[in-house]
Structure 1
Amino acid sequence: MHLEAGILSALVTFIVTIGPVETAVIFAGLTSGVHRADRRKLAARAVLIAGGMLGLFAIGGGLVLSWLHISLPAFRVAGGVLLFLQALSLTFSNPGMSSIDEGERREAKAPGDIAVFPLAFPLIAGPGSLAAAVLVMGRTTTWMDAAAVLAVLSITLAATYGAMRLAERLVGWLGRTGADVVGRVSGVLLAGLAVQFIFDGLRQAALFSNS
């Protein structure tokens, strides 16, 4: 892939699927009664766990697909459809596939550690971002491309941690309307990226069928 264009595409894909701002808004609600120091530890643990999951999918996703005899073009089409569904949810301000429902929200407020569930999964490392990690890494052709994708993923996770640390301020600045606007814009961008993944998969499948 062209390095500069690939980095920009990867950055936008990870930002809109992980959603640092949307994650921070939900994090603020889940930890409203938690001491500041404990919230910082929760945010750090959640991001580290989610980062490990996303990195594992990015590095090993292609190998797993080959074991299952699933071609990368087929996964690009399936992953593109998955991301498009998430884009529709974001655009129309419905809880996306990386969000949590009311039952999960009540469970998260019960006594216990919420760093793994629901913070790391499905809030940060949800179905959309996990699929995106495999799809973006599948576009790489050299070790430099792969390293750039992992660096972009790390930057996005660092931004997510920063947004979680500033969750209360973000909620105050944006309000409900601002958060909805961010979600809708992210949904439009994600829809375009999702369709491009589908086109790429269909184009490569056509090439394979002619070989």
Structure 2
Amino acid sequence: MFNFKEIFSVTLILFSVIDILGSIPFIITIRKREGRIQAEKATIISAALMVGFLFLGQSILKLFGLDVASFALAGAIVIFIVAMEMILGITLIKDDPDAKGSGSIVPLAFPLIAGAGTLTTILSLRAVYQEANILVGILFNLIFVYLVLRSSVWLERVIGKSGFAVLRRVFGVILLAIAVKIFKTHALAL
């Protein structure tokens, strides 16, 4: 049932897409604006969104008359764009700065942690990996997300701006390769 190679792959893919380390500057901004980060709340809401989309995503697609291969290709394009943002240090997809609500929910849990890229990736992963392995990969990422949210002050001091810039570009290249792999796998299915 559990395949450690699949779990490792899923964990790495989601880690790259969520890019919680690359989001530390944004998390610090939210913490300064809100006064604190509610790590538990943000993690639980992110978990609900990711797991819910893992199990209900296909039903939602059927509702709109879409197939998994088409959605996986669309996800590959989104992942490609996110990777280009990470590698080039540009912003192509902008969040709504006037979003109302708690900073731990909007924009932290959604769309930063469990945003369109993450949800698209989860559905794309479902076409390639077993659900149990995806769930374990999601769990590992959520544990890591929680730890990063809890220790954002310490991480800000230790890694520094140049360290985050390097990490962001490395994971951007990994994401780019993942996008190409998904595209190769599902382009023939259409």
- Other structure's SS at 2:22 match: helix
Q: Once the 2 structures are TM-superposed, how far is the Cα of residue 72 of structure 1 from its aligned partner?
A: 1.4
Report the counterpart of residue 3 of structure 2 in structure 1. Answer: 3
What is the aligned-residue identity percentage? 24
Alpha carbons of 1:162 and 1:96: their partners in 2 closer, same or farther (altered >3 Å)? farther
TM-score by length of 2: 0.89
State which of 46, 66, 72 in structure 2 corresponds to 1:70.
66
Report the counterpart of residue 146 of structure 1 in structure 2. Answer: 131
Amino acid at match of 1:126: G
Amino acid at match of 1:91: I
Alpha carbons of 1:136 and 1:49: their partners in 2 closer, same or farther (altered >3 Å)? same
Report the counterpart of residue 136 of structure 1 in structure 2. Answer: 125
**Alpha-carbon distance in 1 for matches of 2:83, 2:34:** 32
Q: Once the 2 structures are TM-superposed, how far is the Cα of residue 68 of structure 1 from its aligned partner?
A: 2.0
Alpha carbons of 1:95 and 1:165: their partners in 2 closer, same or farther (altered >3 Å)? farther
State which of 79, 83, 107 in structure 1 corresponds to 2:79.
83
Report the counterpart of residue 113 of structure 2 in structure 1. Answer: 124
Extract unaligned runs of 5+ from structure 2: none
Amino acid at match of 1:7: I
Report the counterpart of residue 208 of structure 1 in structure 2. Answer: none
Query: Greater share of helix residues, 1 or 2?
Result: 1
Query: Conserved in 1, the CA contact under 8 Å of 2:39 and 2:150?
Result: yes
Alpha carbons of 1:93 and 1:120: their partners in 2 closer, same or farther (altered >3 Å)? same
- After superposition, the C-alpha distances for 1:87-115 in whole angstroms (9 at most, x for unaligned) are 00011122474xx65x62xx57x9x6222
Report the counterpart of residue 191 of structure 1 in structure 2. Answer: 176
- Other structure's SS at 1:204 match: coil
**Alpha-carbon distance in 2 for matches of 1:29, 1:153:** 25
RMSD: 2.3
- After superposition, the C-alpha distances for 1:50-107 in whole angstroms (9 at most, x for unaligned) are 111111111111122223221111111111011100100011122474xx65x62xx5
**Alpha-carbon distance in 2 for matches of 1:167, 1:136:** 29
Q: Identify the range of structure 1 (164-173 vs 184-193) with the bigger mean alpha-carbon deviation.
A: 164-173
TM-score by length of 1: 0.81
**Alpha-carbon distance in 1 for matches of 2:102, 2:61:** 32
Extract unaligned runs of 5+ from structure 1: 206-211
